[in-house]
């Protein structure tokens, strides 16, 4: 069995176009956006084709060729790894002329060649871990050799390994994974070419190994895991291709096989993985009449761009140029309109100064409001009338009288409020957003969907039973704490949690009752709020109004402990109440806000961009909280921007009807919800859930405050 593990921590950049490459490198601006250091990357490429006498391990025909080809791709063609920090460990020589040529090119470029015995490989792993010295660099490890399972552990065989003693003579796969996790880089990808036998051997190898490998990396954070075949399948070599079939298609994907994204022209790892899966399966069916079905795990690293599709990029550039030309026209027209509005207002002011008795100041105020920027569509009619009535630089009495007659008639017919409405003048009336459970949010910008909560009790609309102990909480009003967090009240109620059409862990759909109101952060916790409590900023993307990220569940709990102490000392936290992480049920209840669709936009993905920063519009970074439209209950960024920790252990839904569920009492993973800036739309769904160990940190993972009476009733 031949096991190929390609572990990549990829930077978001490819610097130079090489001969034979159809895809083009990423541009300098794309590299700068990714903050990729030039020297903070490293790589180790291992290919063991022959083994020591007495090892009882059969030779692997194209293992050295695969390792050399992958090293050539990432070190020389894509220039993702500096040659001086690239190591190639070979047990045996390449079989193909192409392999010989590529090996010579690697030597000439300064790539280090080392042995493939166990001690040498362990030393090389430590060295590349040290060389991968920058958080945004990359680390590449590929291993082409036999792989075995022993006692539930997975082992890679060096050139001096023994088939009968994999646990003592092999290299534990978990050790390879550990070394990579210990490196400074945050970007890691595993490619598993598992259960691979020499073609002439004719045996299938360990079925458990492949299944175990996939299970060990399921939903792996920080890794994109691409496997060459599923359990009970072989991973084939080909004399015609003179390579492993899976490796061949991985290389071909970046040599014209994969097209770029229609939105930006980038070729991402997820696109490559999908193409490789399809083409590898086709080859196995056509040439061996068997199934070989590659698979992929790990969400984050799938978004890593590897190259650019030049045709798509060219079309996009042309489209952008056309759009910019149109935008320039719009800007110029807007400037012209603004000039016209100012001139119109100046004429009316002159008229008021010259004919104050006829033109009251209240009329001038109304006209000035009607001409305010932002009211272009309805104000245009007023501008035209003013221009028509005041045709000359000098305002004449007839002009003034003519305009005043029109204005007075219009005012009298429509009345003040109605005419301002017709001109899109904001008012201070109370509006109720759709699906808001009658929250009665008062807004000064109802037409923009930005509903800022104002003073005024929500007590009756929330239907709360007062405890009389904490009137400032039981009043049902929005709260603002000492660090500036605004929390909105969420009424008690029931909803359907989960999704019949979603992933398996979203089932069975459970009717959940939230027995009493609680308060939830209107926005995700910001870096400024975090620093006010903790004194330092762990975030990858920096900005006071950006959501805090790269914080573990445990660190969030420490933040809450300190915040509760701070609020109590300031007299802002009533006895019996605490700031907490929301339960998973509370989170989904507030996210759905009385709706049943996949997102706040309903089941139509095209509207998601109004509510969320995700992989289609984020520009590969977080954005200031509150920049997108709030859901029906006034909460921003429930979809996208950063994943949000919940309080619960990750576990199965109970089904049926439950009240105030808190998930299992113990477990190994904590729940995260909502998707992030580099999540697909599907991962931003209201029902989508993932689990992570409590100590993990990622620059896609933050949280939101909740406030409730504890212990819960």
Residue 279 domain-assigned? no
For residues 625 and 401, what is the distance between their CA atoms, to the nearest angstrom?
Answer: 51
Is there a single domain that holds both residue 37 and residue 115? yes
For residues 66 and 96, what is the distance between their CA atoms, to the nearest angstrom?
Answer: 10
- Grouping H, G, I as helix, E, B as strand and the rest as coil, residue 706 is strand
DSSP-assigned beta bridge partners for residue 579: 707
Residue 267 domain-assigned? no
Is there a single domain that holds both residue 10 and residue 94? yes
For residues 57 and 229, what is the distance between their CA atoms, to the nearest angstrom?
Answer: 22
CATH number of the domain to which 204 belongs: 3.40.50
For residues 500 and 511, what is the distance between their CA atoms, to the nearest angstrom?
Answer: 13
Is there a single domain that holds both residue 28 and residue 135? yes
Residue 114 burial class via C-beta count within 10 angstroms: exposed 0-12, middle 13-18, buried 19 and up: middle
Contact 197, 17 (CB under 8 A): no
For residues 218 and 211, what is the distance between their CA atoms, to the nearest angstrom?
Answer: 11
DSSP-assigned beta bridge partners for residue 295: 227
- Whole-model pTM: value is 0.47
User: What is the distance of C-alpha 567 from the center of its chain?
Assistant: 32
Residue 415 domain-assigned? yes
Residue 607 domain-assigned? yes
Contact 92, 63 (CB under 8 A): yes
Is there a single domain that holds both residue 82 and residue 206? yes
Is there a single domain that holds both residue 362 and residue 489? no
For residues 711 and 576, what is the distance between their CA atoms, to the nearest angstrom?
Answer: 8
**How is residue 509 annotated by DSSP?**
-
What is the residue-wise DSSP string for 106-125? HHHTTPEEE--SHHHHHHHH
Structural domain tally of the chain?
3
Contact 592, 509 (CB under 8 A): no
DSSP β-ladder status, 656-659 and 266-268: unpaired
> What residue has token string 């109620």?
493
DSSP-assigned beta bridge partners for residue 640: 613
Residue 438 domain-assigned? no
Give the contacts of 165 (CB within 8 A, at least 6 positions apart).
none
Residue 573 domain-assigned? yes
Last residue of one domain, picked from the residues 308, 328, 344: 308
Nearest to 585 by CA among 708, 462, 433: 708
For residues 310 and 254, what is the distance between their CA atoms, to the nearest angstrom?
Answer: 12
Is there a single domain that holds both residue 523 and residue 407? no
Is there a single domain that holds both residue 302 and residue 339? no
Is there a single domain that holds both residue 52 and residue 123? yes
CATH number of the domain to which 479 belongs: 3.90.1580.10
* Structural domain that includes position 465: 446-704
Quick one: pLDDT at residue 116?
Answer: 95
Phi and psi angles of residue 417, each rounded to the nearest 5 degrees, phi first: -60, -45
Contact 633, 593 (CB under 8 A): yes
Nearest to 475 by CA among 492, 459, 462: 459
Give ∠ CA 447-453-455 in degrees, rounded to 5: 125
Quick one: pLDDT at residue 421?
Answer: 36
Helix 269-288 to helix 245-252 angle, to the nearest 10 degrees?
Answer: 140
Hey, CA dihedral for 323, 329, 331, 334, is it positive or negative?
negative
What is the mean pLDDT of each successive set of 10 residues along the chain, which is 713 residues long? 41 33 63 56 91 90 92 85 94 94 96 96 94 84 84 87 92 85 80 54 40 58 72 80 90 85 80 88 89 75 73 78 85 81 74 55 63 61 68 54 56 39 30 28 26 28 33 61 93 92 90 92 97 95 95 95 92 87 96 93 92 93 96 95 96 93 90 92 93 85 93 52
Is there a single domain that holds both residue 354 and residue 490? no
Is there a single domain that holds both residue 408 and residue 466? no
Task: Report whether the peptide linkage leading into residue 537 is cis, meaning its omega lies within 30 degrees of zero.
Answer: no
Is there a single domain that holds both residue 302 and residue 336? no
Is there a single domain that holds both residue 569 and residue 683? yes
- Length reported for the chain: 713
Give the number of other Cβ atoms within 10 Å of residue 622's Cβ: 29
Residue 400 domain-assigned? yes
Residue 439 domain-assigned? no
Tokens of 134: 């920058």
Nearest to 75 by CA among 4, 144, 140: 140
Hey, CA dihedral for 115, 116, 122, 127, is it positive or negative?
positive
- Grouping H, G, I as helix, E, B as strand and the rest as coil, residue 603 is coil
């Amino acid at each position: 069995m031949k096991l190929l593990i390609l572990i990549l921590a990829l930077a978001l950049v490819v610097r130079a176009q090489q001969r034979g490459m159809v895809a083009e490198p990423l541009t300098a601006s794309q590299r700068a956006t990714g903050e990729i250091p030039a020297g903070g990357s490293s790589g180790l490429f291992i290919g063991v084709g022959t083994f020591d006498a007495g090892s009882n391990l059969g030779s692997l025909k194209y293992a050295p060729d695969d390792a050399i080809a992958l090293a050539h791709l990432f070190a020389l063609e894509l220039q993702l790894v500096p040659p001086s920090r690239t190591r190639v460990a070979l047990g045996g020589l390449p079989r193909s002329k192409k392999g010989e040529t590529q090996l010579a090119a690697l030597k000439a470029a300064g790539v280090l060649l080392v042995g493939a015995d166990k001690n040498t490989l362990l030393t090389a792993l430590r060295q590349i871990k040290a060389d991968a010295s920058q958080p945004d660099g990359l680390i590449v490890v590929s291993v082409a050799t036999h792989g075995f399972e022993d006692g539930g552990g997975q082992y890679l065989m060096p050139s001096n390994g023994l088939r009968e003693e994999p646990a003592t003579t092999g290299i534990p796969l978990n050790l390879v994974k550990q070394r990579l996790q210990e490196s400074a880089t945050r970007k890691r990808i595993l490619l598993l070419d598992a259960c691979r036998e020499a073609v002439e051997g004719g045996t299938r190898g360990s079925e458990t190994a492949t299944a175990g490998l996939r299970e060990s990396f399921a939903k792996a954070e920080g890794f994109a895991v691409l496997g060459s075949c599923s359990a009970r399948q072989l991973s084939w070599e080909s004399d015609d291709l003179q390579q492993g079939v899976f490796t061949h298609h991985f290389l071909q994907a970046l040599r014209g096989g994969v097209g770029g994204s229609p939105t930006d022209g980038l070729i991402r790892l997820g696109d490559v993985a999908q193409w490789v899966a399809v083409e590898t399966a086709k080859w196995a069916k056509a040439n061996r009449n068997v199934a070989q079905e590659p698979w992929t795990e790990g969400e984050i690293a799938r978004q890593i761009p590897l190259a650019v599709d030049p045709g798509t990029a060219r079309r996009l550039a042309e489209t952008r140029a056309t759009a910019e030309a149109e935008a320039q026209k719009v800007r110029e027209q807007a400037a012209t309109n603004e000039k016209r509005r100012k001139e119109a207002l100046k004429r009316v002011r002159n008229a008021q100064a010259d004919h104050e008795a006829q033109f009251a100041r209240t009329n001038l105020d109304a006209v000035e409001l009607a001409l305010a920027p932002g009211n272009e569509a309805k104000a245009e009619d007023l501008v035209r009338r003013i221009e028509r009535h005041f045709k000359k630089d000098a305002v004449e009495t007839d002009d003034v009288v003519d305009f005043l007659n029109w204005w007075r008639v219009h005012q009298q017919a429509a009345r003040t409020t109605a005419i301002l409405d017709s001109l899109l003048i904001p008012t201070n009336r109370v509006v109720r957003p759709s699906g808001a459970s009658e929250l009665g949010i008062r807004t000064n910008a109802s037409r923009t969907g930005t509903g800022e909560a104002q003073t005024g009790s929500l007590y009756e609309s929330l239907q709360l039973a007062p405890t009389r102990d904490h009137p400032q909480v039981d009043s049902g009003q929005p709260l603002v704490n000492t660090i500036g967090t605004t929390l909105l009240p969420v009424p008690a109620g029931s909803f359907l949690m989960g999704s019949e059409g979603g992933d398996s862990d979203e089932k069975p759909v459970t009717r959940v009752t939230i027995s009493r109101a609680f308060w939830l952060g209107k926005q995700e916790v910001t870096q400024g709020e975090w620093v006010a409590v903790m004194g330092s900023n762990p975030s990858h993307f920096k900005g006071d109004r950006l959501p805090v990220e790269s914080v573990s569940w445990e660190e969030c709990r420490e933040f809450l402990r300190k915040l509760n102490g701070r609020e109590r000392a300031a007299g802002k936290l009533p006895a019996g109440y605490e700031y907490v992480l929301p339960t998973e049920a509370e989170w989904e209840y507030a996210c759905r806000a009385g709706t049943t669709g996949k997102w706040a936009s309903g089941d139509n993905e095209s509207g998601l961009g109004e509510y969320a920063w995700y992989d289609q519009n984020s520009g590969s970074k977080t954005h200031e909280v509150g920049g997108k439209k709030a859901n029906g209950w006034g909460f921003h960024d429930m979809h996208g921007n950063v994943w949000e920790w919940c309080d619960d252990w990750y576990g199965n839904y109970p089904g049926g009807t439950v009240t105030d569920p808190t998930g299992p009492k113990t477990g190994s993973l904590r729940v995260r919800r909502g998707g992030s800036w580099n999540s697909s739309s599907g991962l931003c769904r209201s029902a989508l859930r993932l689990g992570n160990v409590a100590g993990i940190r990622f620059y896609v993972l933050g949280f939101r405050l909740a406030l409730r009476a504890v212990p819960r009733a």
